[in-house]
Structure 1
């Protein structure tokens, strides 16, 4: 009876796994993940690198190596990543690498669409990603880069801001888990996102925007990693 109970419990846990829950919807990103895995086979990771994972703002950061110097980087962003698919692919993206720290930026779970997650759901998904990373990386610092305020999603900025606040509060309760707050750096005197930091879609960043991002990220790295 005991063995049967243990088996049934394992079935319940597996079926309730957040990874399993989102596998079907995450399938569309499989080609992108395979491209990252192909890079893993031909690129040699720098010593003591920071692994950057997440959505297109990571993928499109053309000058990331220069902008983040002297911190070596491994760049593994893809498409319009959401936590609902990153949680499925985290193991495949993270485990091939040896790194000093991980930096995560995911900004698409709240975008103003009918499929948006609530701020608390975003927090829960972030916790799920953290848990997967921690299975084989017990002590490396994990940094969450705050979701950036943008005009293209300004109508849902209150919800995004709440998600940021929930993740920030959670990070404060955990060892080696850090929140990089970028909100103030992106808002002008009128309280809205500064136009010159974003390209025409009002979502992705110009190099001036990346300069601001790099400064905020490196400031936190300097406090934690040095």
Structure 2
């Protein structure tokens, strides 16, 4: 775990309590200021959403061309993941989302993130990840995973489209699917920012790292060209000075993060959330 120095300017007991609510998280709350506190102000965000819809000229329906993007993937995605998606639909029917929560969707790094509530505090999370997800199936299930929820922002991490296999997707193929997921999110919650998390370098897939970097560059491009879509840069943090994966941040499979890895990953994502929401409140 990393040691951090902090000078407190308000009583710690005025902030949310958590067994892993470290000094770094207290610092984020203080530095975030009204941006952190604003996640609990639903009225402001709903009015902001209405303004964003008008400004962006968002269509009320997903275009037919977007639907066509899914055709090559629908059958395989349904065959493999339908039961997992149904489990989440059952959960959705039994639970109530936190007001202005953060929706977390994507692959196993999201599903295995058991400490997300603590790592992202004071943001409240709605975890909906499933192991092995690719953008090809996330796009197919986007409406079922996204539209049941009223959220403040969406955080997306998908790490399996390029893994060094013959059937890997190309960045251009993934780009169309990413834009579809963004479109579904924007249609449902027009003012909610979308955060795309960079694919992490790992030892187990390091042979494919040049191609994965191309994918990350594509994700960055989408963030530059789509309104209210934001890139979360993580890769450099998980590399050594000689550009090798930091193996101490992963479990034995050298693919999934360990506790320290999640601690670092969560800090980066939380800080980016604070930054994005602070900018939104200023607009």
Superposed pair shares fold, TM > 0.5: yes
Structure 1 position 68 matched with structure 2 position 120: yes
Residue equivalent to 2:69 = 18
Supply the distance in 1 between the matched residues of 2:130 and 2:194 (Cα, whole angstroms): 19
Residue from 197, 202, 207 that aligns with 2:259: 207
Pick closer, same or farther for the CA change 1:70–1:16 going to 2, 3 Å: closer
Checking the alignment, whether the CA contact within 8 Å between 2:201 and 2:238 is kept in structure 1 is: yes
Q: CA deviation at 1:19?
A: 2.1
- Map 1:55-204 to 2 at 5 A: 55-204=107-256
Q: Give the match's secondary structure for 1:158.
A: helix
Q: CA deviation at 1:120?
A: 1.7
Pick closer, same or farther for the CA change 1:90–1:223 going to 2, 3 Å: same
Aligned length: 214
Q: Give the match's secondary structure for 1:191.
A: coil
Unmatched tracts of structure 1, length 5 or more:
1-12
Pick closer, same or farther for the CA change 1:15–1:222 going to 2, 3 Å: closer
Deviations along 1:148-183, one digit per CA (max 9) or x if unpaired, are: 111111011111111111110221122211000001
Q: CA deviation at 1:15?
A: 10
Aligned-CA RMSD value? 1.4
Deviations along 1:195-224, one digit per CA (max 9) or x if unpaired, are: 111111110110111011011101111111
Q: CA deviation at 1:20?
A: 2.5
Q: CA deviation at 1:130?
A: 1.0
Please list every run of at least 4 consecutive aligned residues from structure 1 whose deviation after the TM superposition is greater than 4 angstroms.
13-16
Q: CA deviation at 1:190?
A: 2.5
Supply the distance in 1 between the matched residues of 2:170 and 2:85 (Cα, whole angstroms): 26
Unmatched tracts of structure 2, length 5 or more:
1-63, 279-283
TM-score w.r.t. length of structure 2 = 0.73
Q: CA deviation at 1:112?
A: 1.1
- Farther off after superposition, 74-83 or 134-143: 134-143
Q: Give the match's secondary structure for 2:113.
A: coil
Residue equivalent to 1:218 = 270
Supply the distance in 1 between the matched residues of 2:149 and 2:66 (Cα, whole angstroms): 28
Checking the alignment, whether the CA contact within 8 Å between 1:82 and 1:109 is kept in structure 2 is: yes
Greater relative contact order (Cα < 8 A, sep 6+): 2
Supply the distance in 2 between the matched residues of 1:162 and 1:140 (Cα, whole angstroms): 27
Supply the distance in 1 between the matched residues of 2:115 and 2:162 (Cα, whole angstroms): 27
Q: Give the match's secondary structure for 2:73.
A: helix
Supply the distance in 2 between the matched residues of 1:132 and 1:44 (Cα, whole angstroms): 21
